[in-house]
Structure 1
Amino acid sequence: MTRTGEDHRAAGDGPWWWVRWRSAVLDGGLALASALECGAEGVPFARDAGIPVAVGVVFGLLAGSVLLIRRRWPIAVVLVAIAVTPAQMGFLMGIVGLYTLAACELPRRIIVALAGMSLVGTMIVTFVRVRQDMARGDLTLGDWFVPFAAVATSLGLTAPPLLLGLYVGARRRLMESLRERADSLERELQLLAERAEERAEWARSEERTRIAREMHDVVAHRVSLMVVHAAALQAVARKDPEKAVKNAALVGDMGRQALTELREMLGVLRAGDGPPRQRQRERQREPEAALPLAAVGAAAAVAASRAPGDEGSAAPVEGPYLSELEELVGQSAAAGMVVSLSVEGEARPYAAEVEQTAYRVVQEALTNVHKHAAGAKTRVRLAHRASEIAMQVENEPPPEPASASAGLPSGGNGLLGMKERVAALGGVFVSGPTDAGGFRVSAVIPASAAMS
């Protein structure tokens, strides 16, 4: 991971205030050179001031060595350089000090003020020194040369290090900003990756739940009808052989269709693809030439079981539609259930999710009647309203409570699955026993609802 400015500085292993050893060595070398320069310049300064030469040399050495703390206290270095300017010493210290000051993260007004003081001090000292040299006859140029030399010297010793320091400081701050931005982006990417993993895990969990629900919808209803027909076959096998043959054919046909639907669903889970709905329905209708009761629109599970992100593969198989409710009710009637279907309002097309959910609610409710109230009279109502579609499946008490279960197993998830389906579309689902001893399943789904 990238390191930000403070982390980058904290990662150094240099002594004291230096981040790296090479910085300490560089400052030590600059301080030594500055001390030697100031010590050498202290000799003429001592003679001009009338003090012992040793004192001038020691003063120069001490003043020049201040450059050692330029990274820690750059303002102090510049002030010392300005202070020793009248003694005509500390030129290296002044140049390096101004560069360090401009490169530091200090307020711009402080940098400008100190640079201005250094410029003015150098200009005054140069002006006085050149004028003295011309007065002694060392220089024979015109009077114009005195201000020119003062301005040129002061600008030459002040402007280059100041501008270079400002450039280096701005570049350093830009690099630190880029480091911080890269570190922030990396943290955001890591956070996004974690959230994506969480969403993927949630999606996998939802997909497993949905596949289990679709498997239940596809298989449970048809297998329940097979069990009912098998029981009827056992009851009439000896009394009415012709009816027994018909029931056996129904059981075989439904078993084949259940296996076909299960095989197609498993094929989609393996390959992420499935046959178009028209070809699937044609295959389902082939054995129905003699027995038109065997058909179920459970192929929705094939489409719904596709994993997210498979849009680029073949078109998914569509689910059942409300127009197939009459066929669904006919299957239950063929299995011996006394069932009626009533439709209120004008039928119109809905979103695929709405029609599939409404179909599954009715299908699961009829399956539960086969399981728990065999032989009970059942009424299926479907109402097309202005902004919603309502469905209700209500059965009366079974005529023979002792055999109501018909030996059909129940996982206890059918009602929960229906409630989840309806709630996902913003609808309302209610189920429970009636006062007459039967059971009622009701659902209302907004007509404009669609799963996200």
Structure 2
Amino acid sequence: MSSAQDGVGSISGVGPFPAGEAALRREDGEPWLQPFRGPLQRWPRTTDTLLAALAFLLTLAMWSVNGKAADLGAVVSGGLLLIALVASAALIWRRRHPVVVHAVVLCCLLLTTLGPLNDGIVAMAFSLYSLGRYAGDGRVSLLGMLLALLVASTDLFVMNAAGPGGLFTLLMMGTVWYVGRRLRFRGEYLRLLEERARDLEQRRNEAAELAVAEERSRIARELHDIVAHQLSLMTVQAGAAKTVAQSNPGAALEAMAAVEAAGRQALREMRHLLHVLRREESGGGLAPQPGCADLPSLVSEVSAAGAAVDLRTHGRLSDLPPRVDLAVYRIVQEALTNVLKHAGEGAAVTVTATASADGVELMICDSGRGPAAATGQGYGISGMRERAELLGGWLRAGPGADGGFEVRALLPYGDGRP
């Protein structure tokens, strides 16, 4: 069963996640192994509060080491203590408002240069890192870093004679900002990769769901074509046997023999389809799918059921692509099944199959009661139309010009054109 083997077998293993990956995920779809998140990421507000307190204490410690006793008294009793406290407390909001926080710390640094202790504040190092790490506008971030270097250079080389140590301080300030900036770029890159992975996973899931739906539709068409045709033959023959059972027992036995043959044929085709679905390659092998070469036997079966079928073929129909060959047979089979169900007794049917330059042209016309009798909500015509459209062709079904019902279709050759 070539067409079914192309797609039906792929239905196993299709799902939102591959088999190996599904074992690594919880019931809610999240992976069992989550990426490690340290305390800095789990409790950011608490971490920033502790960081602000640490910056304040380190600032006081730095001033106490570098300052004199008189200067320390001025610090404690003056406004520099408040400046250090404000600069350090601003770090609590360094993640959400890095530019504003840096502006506050920069102003505090500028004010400290005017006091008795102009040794800087530790909060500036954390502010520079946060400016590089969390500021979205790169130009504003760079400008903030340059302003900090300008204020620090004024303090070190204009108001004081720092020497080589001052250059090292400026270098460290620039390095801290640069590290934060590089970490931001890396974080953005990883975020984009995660978004792309989620997008690819979503597309894969959608493709898997679409493949499942297409395979279900394909299986439904195959089952309908196999079962509906044979059951229609069995129903017609059983009805005929019941009608002539008393008057003509011999004819009744022939009709029941035809019912038995149709049932066996249906079982063979069903077994054939189940072999493909289960991927069982052992055994006696699978018979080839029916095609144009089997149209005469199909016509004979329908004619034996009571319809007068005239088969006309034009062109070379022997070397068609497998999908086209199967579609021709299935469409003719379904059209003749509809004739048996709806056209009425004694209906004449003409089946014309023509191999043209564009593809195989089909026309099935009957002289029955027409579409008025076909009031059911079946899948026959829609299944025939789907077969034609999957090949890039079309199918039209409706009342014929001279009465009855007419089915016309064009099935392109595609890449396998003979």
Q: Using structure 1 for the length normalisation, give the TM-score.
A: 0.65
User: Is residue 351 from structure 1 mapped to residue 321 from structure 2 by the alignment?
Assistant: yes
Q: CA deviation at 1:101?
A: 6.2
CA contact (8 A) 2:113 2:155 kept: yes
Q: What corresponds to 2:163 in structure 1?
A: 154
Q: 1:266, 1:279 → 2: CA distance?
A: 13
Q: 1:184, 1:414 → 2: CA distance?
A: 48
Q: CA deviation at 1:321?
A: 1.8
User: Is residue 442 from structure 1 mapped to residue 408 from structure 2 by the alignment?
Assistant: yes
CA contact (8 A) 2:392 2:411 kept: yes
CA contact (8 A) 1:365 1:393 kept: yes
CA contact (8 A) 1:78 1:97 kept: no
Q: CA deviation at 1:122?
A: 3.6
Taking the TM superposition and a 5 Å limit, the aligned residue runs for 1:52-67 are 57-58=74-75, 62-63=79-80, 66-67=83-84
Taking the TM superposition and a 5 Å limit, the aligned residue runs for 1:211-290 are 211-237=219-245, 242-266=250-274, 268-269=276-277, 271-273=278-280, 279-281=285-287
Q: What corresponds to 2:356 in structure 1?
A: 385
User: Is residue 319 from structure 1 mapped to residue 289 from structure 2 by the alignment?
Assistant: yes
CA contact (8 A) 2:292 2:317 kept: no
CA contact (8 A) 2:118 2:155 kept: no
Q: What corresponds to 2:55 in structure 1?
A: 27
CA contact (8 A) 2:391 2:414 kept: no
CA contact (8 A) 1:31 1:64 kept: no
Q: What corresponds to 2:136 in structure 1?
A: none
Q: What corresponds to 1:303 in structure 2?
A: none
Q: 1:42, 1:115 → 2: CA distance?
A: 29
SS across alignment from 1:380: strand
Correspondent of 1:13 among 27, 42, 45: 45
Correspondent of 1:335 among 300, 305, 310: 305
Q: CA deviation at 1:219?
A: 1.3
Q: What corresponds to 1:79 in structure 2?
A: 110
CA contact (8 A) 1:30 1:67 kept: no
Q: 2:148, 2:247 → 1: CA distance?
A: 118
Identity of aligned residues (%): 30
CA contact (8 A) 2:52 2:123 kept: no
Q: CA deviation at 1:443?
A: 0.8
Q: CA deviation at 1:164?
A: 2.6
- Residue identity opposite 2:164 in structure 1: L
Taking the TM superposition and a 5 Å limit, the aligned residue runs for 1:123-134 are 123=157
Q: CA deviation at 1:249?
A: 2.8
Query: Deviations 1:271-294 (Å, cap 9, x if unpaired)?
Result: 344679x8444xxxxxxxxxxxxx
Distance 1:41 1:352, change over 3 A: farther
SS across alignment from 2:414: coil
Distance 1:229 1:58, change over 3 A: closer
SS across alignment from 1:27: helix
Q: 1:125, 1:202 → 2: CA distance?
A: 73
Q: CA deviation at 1:361?
A: 1.0
Q: 2:77, 2:164 → 1: CA distance?
A: 24
CA contact (8 A) 1:38 1:64 kept: no
Q: 2:413, 2:308 → 1: CA distance?
A: 30
Distance 1:122 1:425, change over 3 A: same
Q: CA deviation at 1:29?
A: 0.5
User: Is residue 423 from structure 1 mapped to residue 397 from structure 2 by the alignment?
Assistant: no
CA contact (8 A) 1:419 1:429 kept: yes
CA contact (8 A) 1:42 1:60 kept: no
Q: 2:250, 2:75 → 1: CA distance?
A: 130
Q: Pick the structure with greater CA Rg.
A: 1
- Residue identity opposite 1:25 in structure 2: A
Q: 1:244, 1:192 → 2: CA distance?
A: 63
Q: CA deviation at 1:119?
A: 4.1
Q: What corresponds to 1:170 in structure 2?
A: 178
Q: Which has the higher contact order (CA 8 A, sep 6+)?
A: 2
Taking the TM superposition and a 5 Å limit, the aligned residue runs for 1:369-384 are 369-373=339-343, 374-384=345-355
Q: CA RMSD in A?
A: 3.9
- Residue identity opposite 2:390 in structure 1: A
**Number of residue pairs aligned between Structure 1 and Structure 2:** 356
Q: 2:340, 2:367 → 1: CA distance?
A: 12
CA contact (8 A) 2:367 2:403 kept: yes
Query: Deviations 1:145-198 (Å, cap 9, x if unpaired)?
Result: xxxxx5xx4221x23333333333333333344444444444444454445444
Q: What corresponds to 2:118 in structure 1?
A: 90
